[in-house]
Chain A
C-alpha cells in the first residue's frame, strides 16, 4: 500500500516536471521548427507539426544576407573581449586577494556596484565620445566597453578561486627564484584553471548577448548578430521563417556552450549565493 502511494507520488512529480520542462523548451523548439517551414506551413492554424522541411531559409540567411559577416563581428568582439579581459581580470583578482586590505575590498565592492547602474548612464557618454573620437562603428570601442564592463564580475569570480590558493604556494615559488609575476604565471594560475573556464564562458556570453551597446555604437560595418536579428524581426512578418532561421543560428552556439560547459556555468551563476 505504502509502495503504491510512493510510486504514485513519484509519477506525479515526474509528470509535472516534464510538463514544466516542455513549456520552457517549447518556444525554442517551435522557433527552430518554424525556420524549416515554408510560409504556408508556418502560418497555418492549427499549427502543422508534420510538414516537408525546407533548408531554403537557412541557406538564404547564410548566403544571400550578411549574416556570416554579423556572426564574424559578434565572434571577433566576443573573442577579443575574452582574450583581453581574462588576463587583466586574473591579474587584478590575484592582486586584490594577495593585497588583503579593507580598502582593496571596498574598491572591489564599488566596482561591482557600477555594474548594477542603469546602462543608459554609460550609453550616453559612449555615444557622444564615439562620435567625437570617430570610433563609431568600429570594433575597438565595442571591445573596450565589453572588457571594462566585464571586469567587475570577472574579478569577483576569479577572486573566489584565488582565495583557495594557499599563500605558501607563492612563497615556495619566490624561494625557488621566481619573480612575483613569474610565480603567478607558472605556479598559481595552473591551480585555478576551472575558475578561468567559468570566467571565460561568462565573459563570452556577456559580449555575445549584448544588445544595447551594440545597437547604439555599431553600424553597417560592425553590426553584431543580436542587432541584426532585432532589425530583421521588426520587419514585415512575411519574413518569419527567415527570422526564425536567424534566431536558430544565433542561439545554437550558446546552447552548445550550455550543453558542454554546464558545470562551469552553474559555478558562476551560483557564485555569491553559496559558500
Chain B
C-alpha cells in the first residue's frame, strides 16, 4: 500500500509547529546577534558580541554558580528520596494506591502555586517549617532572607513538587520488573541491600536514566517555583539562569542579550537533551 498518502495527516501538526515554534526560535537566534534595547529601536547588528559580553560578565557566571549546584542537588535529593519511597510503597499491599495518590498530590499543584505555598511554609515568624523545627527543639532559621538558606529552601520546594514524579516513575518500574531474577537471587540468599544493589538497581537502570535526564533538564530550566518563592532573592542569591535571563530580557528589556543568554542556556542543556534523544532513539 502506498504509505505516502499518510503524509497529509502530519501537515496540520507540522504547520502549527513551524509557525509557532520553529520560526520564533529562529527569530530568537537571529535577534541574539543584535544589540537591541527595546525602548530605543532599531536593533544594531553586533555579531557574537552579546555572547561574549554575557559569558564574560559576572552575572551569568553567578547564575550558573547557582543553577549547577541547584540542578545537581535536587536531582540527587529527589532520586534518593524517590527511590526510598518507591521501594517502601512497593513493599506494601493494602492501601498502596491511596498512599501513592497522597504522595503524588504535590506534583499536581501548579508550579507557581507550589512556590507560593512553600514560601508561606518557610516564612520564619509564623511558617510551619520553623514551627516544627521548634517542636524538635531546633532553632528556627531565617529561610528566605539568608542567601544560603534561601537556596536550600528553593531546593526543598522543588523537591516537594517533583520527588512525587520520581516516585511514580520508579514505582511503575519496580512493579514491572521481571520476577525470575529476583526470585532466583532470593533463593540464593540475597536480601536487603545486596538485593537492591546487585539485582534491582541494574534491572531498573534504563528507567533511572530516563527519569534522571528528565529531572536534570527540568531542574536546569526551573522558573515558576523559584520566581514565586524568592523572585531570585535575597539580592541575587537564588537567581537561577532562567530568572537572570528573564530579568535581562523582560525587565531591563535588553532583548539581544536576553536571547544570547537563552542560547547559552540551551548550549548547557545540549548534553542532557542529546542523551534523552539517544535513549528514545534506541527504543524507537
Query: Is B193 among interface residues, defined by CB-CB distance under 8 A?
Result: no
Contact with A along B106-138 (1 / 0, CB 8 A): 101111110011111101011010010000000
Query: Is A66 among interface residues, defined by CB-CB distance under 8 A?
Result: no
The answer to whether residues A151 and B277 also contact, given A99-B3, A124-B28, A184-B9 and a CB cut-off of 8 A, is: no
Query: Is B259 among interface residues, defined by CB-CB distance under 8 A?
Result: yes
Query: Is A186 among interface residues, defined by CB-CB distance under 8 A?
Result: no
Query: Is B14 among interface residues, defined by CB-CB distance under 8 A?
Result: yes
- What residues of chain B lie closer than 8 Å to A196, measured between beta carbons? none
On whether the beta carbons of B160 and A27 are closer than 8 Å, the reply is yes
> Complex Cα distance A16/B92, Å?
11
What is the minimal beta-carbon distance from B4 to any residue of chain A, in angstroms? Answer: 7
The answer to whether residues A240 and B4 also contact, given A21-B99, A24-B103, A226-B112 and a CB cut-off of 8 A, is: no
Q: From A87, A118, A237, give the contact of B221 (CB < 8 A).
A: A118
- What residues of chain B lie closer than 8 Å to A27, measured between beta carbons? 106, 117-118, 120-121, 128, 160
On whether the beta carbons of B223 and A274 are closer than 8 Å, the reply is no
> Complex Cα distance A87/B271, Å?
33
The answer to whether residues A148 and B263 also contact, given A24-B160, A43-B126, A120-B258 and a CB cut-off of 8 A, is: no
- What residues of chain B lie closer than 8 Å to A76, measured between beta carbons? none
Name the residue of chain B whose CB is nearest to the CB of A34. Answer: B120
- What residues of chain A lie closer than 8 Å to B276, measured between beta carbons? 116
Q: How many residues of B contact A (CB 8 A)?
A: 95
On whether the beta carbons of B117 and A247 are closer than 8 Å, the reply is yes
Query: Is A177 among interface residues, defined by CB-CB distance under 8 A?
Result: no
Contact with B along A1-43 (1 / 0, CB 8 A): 0000000001001101110110011111011001000000001
Name the residue of chain B whose CB is nearest to the CB of A106. Answer: B281
Q: From A128, A149, A225, give the contact of B21 (CB < 8 A).
A: A149
On whether the beta carbons of B106 and A28 are closer than 8 Å, the reply is yes
- What residues of chain A lie closer than 8 Å to B110, measured between beta carbons? 208-209, 211, 225-226, 250-251, 254
Q: From B92, B116, B273, give the contact of A113 (CB < 8 A).
A: B273
On whether the beta carbons of A266 and B172 are closer than 8 Å, the reply is yes
Residue of A16, A98, A124 with highest tally of chain B CB at under 10 A:
A124
- What residues of chain A lie closer than 8 Å to B284, measured between beta carbons? 105, 108-109
Query: Is B60 among interface residues, defined by CB-CB distance under 8 A?
Result: no
Query: Is B255 among interface residues, defined by CB-CB distance under 8 A?
Result: yes
Interface residues of B in 141-178 (CB under 8 A from A): 160, 163-165, 168-169, 172-173, 176
The answer to whether residues A145 and B20 also contact, given A91-B12, A274-B172 and a CB cut-off of 8 A, is: yes
Interface residues of B in 41-76 (CB under 8 A from A): none
Name the residue of chain A whose CB is nearest to the CB of B262. Answer: A121
Query: Is B207 among interface residues, defined by CB-CB distance under 8 A?
Result: yes
On whether the beta carbons of A13 and B169 are closer than 8 Å, the reply is no
> Complex Cα distance A27/B102, Å?
12
- What residues of chain B lie closer than 8 Å to A257, measured between beta carbons? 108
The answer to whether residues A120 and B246 also contact, given A45-B131, A88-B16, A230-B228 and a CB cut-off of 8 A, is: yes
Q: Per DSSP, are chain A's interface residues mostly helix, strand or loop, or mixed?
A: helix
Q: From B105, B112, B283, give the contact of A229 (CB < 8 A).
A: B112
- What residues of chain B lie closer than 8 Å to A226, measured between beta carbons? 110, 112-113, 224
- What residues of chain A lie closer than 8 Å to B106, measured between beta carbons? 24, 27-28
Query: Is B219 among interface residues, defined by CB-CB distance under 8 A?
Result: no
On whether the beta carbons of A250 and B113 are closer than 8 Å, the reply is yes
- What residues of chain B lie closer than 8 Å to A129, measured between beta carbons? 24, 27
What is the minimal beta-carbon distance from B60 to any residue of chain A, in angstroms? Answer: 13
Interface residues of B in 210-240 (CB under 8 A from A): 210-211, 217, 221, 223-224, 227-228
The answer to whether residues A125 and B207 also contact, given A112-B280, A120-B245, A250-B113 and a CB cut-off of 8 A, is: no
- What residues of chain B lie closer than 8 Å to A216, measured between beta carbons? 250
Query: Is B252 among interface residues, defined by CB-CB distance under 8 A?
Result: no
Given A13-B88, A17-B85, A258-B101, 15 more contacts at CB 8 Å? A20-B88, A24-B105, A27-B121, A43-B126, A94-B6, A95-B13, A99-B9, A112-B277, A118-B242, A148-B20, A205-B108, A212-B224, A230-B227, A233-B228, A255-B105
Closest 10 pairs between A and B when the two form their complex, measured CB to CB = A95-B9, A92-B13, A148-B20, A125-B24, A95-B10, A121-B262, A211-B112, A118-B265, A98-B6, A270-B172
A residues with a Cβ closer than 8 A to B are: 10, 13-14, 16-18, 20-21, 24-28, 30-31, 34, 43-47, 87-89, 91-92, 94-96, 98-100, 104-105, 107-109, 111-114, 116-129, 144-145, 147-149, 151-152, 155, 171, 174, 180, 184, 205, 208-209, 211-212, 216, 225-226, 229-230, 233, 237, 240, 243-244, 247, 250-251, 254-255, 257-259, 262, 266, 269-270, 272-275
B residues with a Cβ closer than 8 A to A are: 1, 3-10, 12-14, 16-17, 19-22, 24-25, 27-29, 31, 85, 88-89, 91-92, 95, 99, 101-106, 108-113, 116-121, 123, 125-126, 128, 131, 160, 163-165, 168-169, 172-173, 176, 206-207, 210-211, 217, 221, 223-224, 227-228, 242, 245-246, 249-250, 255, 258-259, 261-263, 265-266, 269, 272-273, 276-277, 280-281, 283-284
